[in-house]
Structure 1
Amino acid sequence: MAFELCFLLLLAPLLVLALDPAFNDDVLGLIVFKAGLSDPEAKLASWSEDDGSPCNWAGVKCDPTTGRVAEVVLDGFSLSGHIGRGLLRLQNLKKLSLSDNNFTGFINPDLPHLGSLQVIDLSRNSLSGSIPEEFFKQCGSLGVVSFAGNNLTGRIPESLSLCQTLVEVNFSSNWLSGKLPPGIWYLRMLQLIDLSDNLLEGEVPKGMENLYDLRVINLGKNRFSGQLPGNIGSCLKLKLLDFSGNLFSGRIPDSIRSLDSCTSLSLQGNFLAGQVPNWLGDLKNLVMLDVSGNNLSGEIPSSLGNLEVLEKLNLSRNGFTGSLPDALANCINLLAIDVSHNLLAGKLPLWIFKLGLRSVLLSGNRLGGSDEYSSLASMAASNGGLQVLDLSSNAFSDVLPSDIGVLSSLQFLNMSGNHLLGWIPASIGELKAAYVLDLSDNWLNGSIPDEIGGAVSLKELRLQKNFLIGKVPAEIVKCSSLTNLILSQNNLTGPIPTAIVNLTNLEYVDLSLNKFSGGIPKEVTNLSHLLYFNVSHNHLEGELPLGGFFNTIPPSSVLGNPSLCGSAVNRACPSVHPKPIVLNPNSSNPVGGSSSPTHGHKIVFSISALIAIGAAVFIAIGVIAVTILNMHAQSSLSRSAAPLELSGGEDYSCSPTNDPNYGKLVMFSGDADFAAGRQALLNKDCELGRGGFGVVYKTALCDGRSVAIKMLSVSGLIKSQEDFEREVKGLGKIRHRNLVALEGYYWTPSLQLIIYEYIPCGSLFKNLHDGPGKTCLTWRQRFHIILGMAKGLAHLHQMNIIHYNLKSTNVLIDNNGEPKVGDIGLARLLPTLDRCILSSKIQSALGYMAPEFACQTVKITEKCDVYGFGILVLEVVTGKRPVEYVEDDVIVLSDMVRCALGEGRVEECLDKNLLGNFPAEEAIPVIKLGLICASQVPSNRPDMGEVINILELIQCPSEGQEELE
């Protein structure tokens, strides 16, 4: 009753206005709509119920004839909340645009019933649920609809074909699934259709030729299969065609040659085969052509030189042979060319430096020759804009051009993995815009020129695996932005330059396998961003620095230096200690003159002994503290379990009682009580497992459903009840087929329970490792598990949630073999994401934790989860734990796999149960993907969306898609 009264008081001003005959229906509708919103930036401050007309309100436009609201455009207003029914009062509304906000909830199926509505744009929000079937059944004059960039699921409604007035449809970047409804091709007025970045599948239905006015079609980043639509050439007005990132096979259909108006053609990331047809050169209006990542073969047709307006050409990751045709020099507007990872041979064409190219990617071919490009300066004079040049992994055997510095706009230069000879030219210092310089894995000799300091923008300098000699020039300190300094496997000598201690952005340093001598500068401990520092196999001596990164430096990073000492090399440092402190009972006391009562013994305490004693006391105090905390947790459980056992289910399903001794039980759906009563909730016999955040039990609800209950062991760190409930309710809204669903919670100040759906087939760890109970998973099952984990994690990251605790015990397998990532967002329940707290809670995740956890100054991001995912991939493929102990040795899985793969010992990278029964064309790329995800450098790791795309490209088309659903 009190609530109803408050609600009436809140709406009283609106009710008064509604009774006013001069009151405008539009004002009431918009004010009611506003009442359900959060407006943190006060963008709707001008919206007042006291106004007789809303025509001067922010984001509102009126029809000058009728004075009624015609447009509501609130794009980027930072609004949140639900799209309320108040908008339905705006009967003259023609345009509703609410994009780039944070609206939640479902799509209102009644919106199109506004008779005049022509444009609905709800893109880039957080809407969920499916697109209602009713939405398009009475769509009036609706011409444009966009739900892009939300969290929509389910199928595209069949009723879409009833909305014959539609001109533009954009459902991209959602989670829509199922097949494309055939009726979509009967929308004869359609000019744009964008369904990209979803989970749509199956063959594209016939009938696309009916769309005579179609200008844009984008079906990219889905799971469509079969042949490309054969009659697409009938859409003569088509300007953009994007079928990339799918599972299409067969050849490029000849009908595409009719698309004279086409400016952008993207077929990349499929399984298309055969040769590139010569008629592609007849599409004279093409600005972008991308057929990369297919199985195309043969020579690159010279007819592509006819594409005079072409700006971007991507033919990479195919099987093209022959040489780069000289006819491409006729593409005078070409800005970017990528033919990397093919089988091209021959010399580097001179026109590469003559055109106005910005990006040239030729890596991973067989290009070579020993012609010296002595006229590079004159050739490049007309091309002052070359920014990216990648000639890596080819067969170039020449010296570096002495005037390479004339490419003054170059930002990225990679010539690694060739047979380059000679010295590094001094003009390299003239590349002042370059941020990556990679000349590794060549035959370069001589010294690193002092002029390298002129490349002031460098972030990555990679010169490993050459024959360089001499010292590292002190001028390198001028490259103040350096993050990666890789000089390993050369013949460099002299001391490690003290200049590097001033390169405060350094993250990754590898000076291993050289002939450096002297000590390691103590000041390197001040490099707060350092993630990796390897000086192994040199002639270094003296004491290892202490502090910062060096407190946890792995022994492998310093081994092979016999004269180094310190804990990391397990070698004590010889040093001159000050005189020990002597307490002699027979000597006079210089202060008070008193003497010790002890006779006949000297008590001698060196400084090192005092430190050892202090450390022992500190450890003892820590052990006592942990013991007390454990006793406190046990007593908290005993105090809190009693009220849980005494109270009935209905007391907990709605709201907390006033008695603080009783808890609050909330179930988000279904029955709010347990079949065996409260007393069986924490039954030891029903224990499923233990983890860093608590113990998990199994029980059943009265409606017959089994659930898993996690008793949190972090009660002393949990936030307030209000914060706890807000976080848990937020986590409870997360629903994805590859995430364990949170079903409810229980709260008292000293006991918190989280209630999850029960997953019957145990953890991934159990299925891979756990004794007799482990499962001999097939390759197809393993691939499905990896892909499912990636999708679940990507969904979390899309909602700005970092998992923090990825490991195989936190991935569960259901009856259908579907992986479900658990322990979602539990770190959010702690008051702060303190790394000490986190590391103590997830110490069982040894081997999965990203290296940046050890560095207090490095931001923890989603890339930490990507690292853990990479280790999980390697664990699934190899069947080995991330860290294994063999006799006196420790085997780190990622290091073992990286070494074995690099030496061609692929069989050592696979579970022995898989040998002889796996597709190498899938397994090897998956292993490489795992290694990339587990990179030491966060910026080198892909995001999870990219991981999914890569996995879907890797998966063999010959395998039945039903196995990978």
Structure 2
Amino acid sequence: MRTIPITVLLLLLVLSAPPAAVALTADGLALLAFKSAVTDDPQSVLARWSETDADPCRWRGVTCANISSQTEPRVVGVAVAGKNVSGYIPSELGSLLFLRRLNLHDNRLTGAIPAALSNASSLHSLFLYNNALSGNIPAAALCDLPRLQNLDVSRNALSGELPLDLRNCRSLQRLVLSGNGFSGEVPAGIWPELSGLEQLDLSSNEFNGSIPPDLGQLPRLSGTLNVSHNRFSGVVPPELGRLPATVTLDLRFNNLSGAIPQTGSLATQGPTAFLHNPALCGFPLQVACRAVPPPTQSPPPLNATPSSATASSVFPDGQQHRSIKTSLIALIAVADAAGVALVGIILVYVYWKVKDSREGRRAIAQDDDDDRNRGRPCGCCIWGRRGRGGVEESDCSSDEEEEEGRKYSSGGGDGELVAIDRGFRMELDELLRSSAYVLGKGGKGIVYKVVVGNGSTPVAVRRLGGGGAEKRKEFRAEARAMGRVRHPNVVRLRAYYWSPDEKLVVTDFVGNGNLATALRGRTGEAVLSWSARLKIAKGVARGLAYLHECDPRRRFVHGEVKPSNILLDADFSPRVADFGLVRLLAIAGCAPDGTLYPTAPPPSSGSLLGGAIPYTKPPAQAQASGYRAPEARVPGARPAQKWDVFSFGVILLELLTRRGPADYASPSTSASFSGPSATTTDRSGSGEHGAVPEVVRWVRRGFEEDARPVAEMVDPALMREAPATLPKKELVAAFHVALACTELDPEQRPKMKTVADSLDKIG
């Protein structure tokens, strides 16, 4: 009988042995407890969570990080959101000691929020909204988390009173409890302890009692303070006026009463902040606060004198009867006066409603429009209140402001709010509240900031003007064409509002300022590194190239490319703004500087969206921009894409040198250069056809005539930042791209697609 070698036997034993039961890390075992708690996983999100893996770091929805070089990777994030999973949240998730973010929103999870989550001491974000969780909120446990910043448990089935232990969540920045069944009074004394709170939403619950006055002691609050759809009663606390001016209140659908205080930020709220509180009165509501009516009974008389027999048959004291009769007459007179006043108010209200309805339906002739609106600025604010710093936001008269307010509150007559992006949701009342967020008033109307949704999605609302009542189809067509432009480096149009006397556009809000501010800084010092400047240049080039190439049927032209129209997000990624606004302003009957055009003849069929030339010649100051191409300053010139190429070249030179179009080094270096089609110009760079900005002449002279080193032309702040490591080859390549873009002959300038490709090769 043949014997089997011992090595073969050992190999067979190893191959047939079961896998080691301790292969998975402790973090992985805690996550498997969550998988066991899930009763339904329709999208098989957790199907590959297996105990045979060495660690969970490759599981779907799991994020790991190396806490230290001596330890294995630990779980720092769990995201199983929007997967429609059913089950409950197990307490074992609290054993993930380094878990920072737990994201389980938009599922069908039930049961209570486990207090054991407080054992995950690194947790700073807990998103459980839009589930079916029940029970109380374990504030005593969750507030033991030292780093908890975001707590969103909205749209669940939680109940009970708001616990006082919330005051211990001192690191909290977002607290969203809306859409639950919380009840009772909101306790005072919590909010002064939460000084870092930036968002608070208590809406759509069953809270009662009065609104705590110390809600006004939230200095960092922003967005919307939402306490709507509850059962709050009593007065509006005047202390809410201490909130920052950028905060919008939402007190709708409560039982508040009394006069609305006109203190601080309360005085800047729109009427929709207070709607559906029947006993509220005062500005901005159209409900007057009346005096308290006289008592229904008169005080008893002090003296008695004889009276008639009829009177003495009822009252033994005739003087008492005479006194009561006088009081009744006075009471009847007061009641009659009050009735007449009430009828008068109703008649005035009906008159204005009928008048507004007729004006909304009437087609107003253009000549009448011009006569009525001549001299009235196109950038009036909606409510005509004073903005931050006491600056007047409107030049309209008070009567016109009140009339516009009624039109908005009634839905705008024949107006329509059209969302171009299907995923975008905004109600008209949110536009009404936009006056509390005035960002600025410039040549293209007033710009407001509006926070929509749960307070995390801000948008910018720009008011264009009130003319062009008969050009509804034209405005709609241009706005829809703008809405089709979708690129990461172009500010996106989300919606527009049209009515015979109002035009608004809603775009993305980009909150890190513009390139003009970032390049020069608030104190005049450069704040951008070379890598940031190159990133901005590449992004702007891609955005403009997309505008030029996105629609083969129409040759889009921006026409107003300049640093103030290049917005920056938090990562300094650029977004080209104001595309198409000049065209919409022309339709609305406004010039780019906010004044009315005398006339607005219909455009030709070949007019360009976003073309810099409106229906009539814009004011001289609008054409004096140093970023415009020389040929763009010729009256009657047809907009061309090479205009944008020249403007981009000037911006690129400004990124490299930090010199504006009219800046120059010295008289000796500011002389005009002689090129193929150059003409002598003054130092402003705004002379005849062929004029170029000073920075273009100065750089071109340095390269072609003086042969100066690049280090003498580049921004000195960059040289101070990293003189030894600054990439000279990248700088030279960027200078050559800018000079090619600023050729005087438009035919010699490259296309923006070529410019973008050239910049992408740098670095």
Scaled by the length of structure 2, what TM-score is found? Answer: 0.38
With a CA cutoff of 8 Å and minimum separation of 6, indicate the structure with the bigger relative contact order. Answer: 2
Scaled by the length of structure 1, what TM-score is found? Answer: 0.31
Bigger fraction of residues in strand = 1
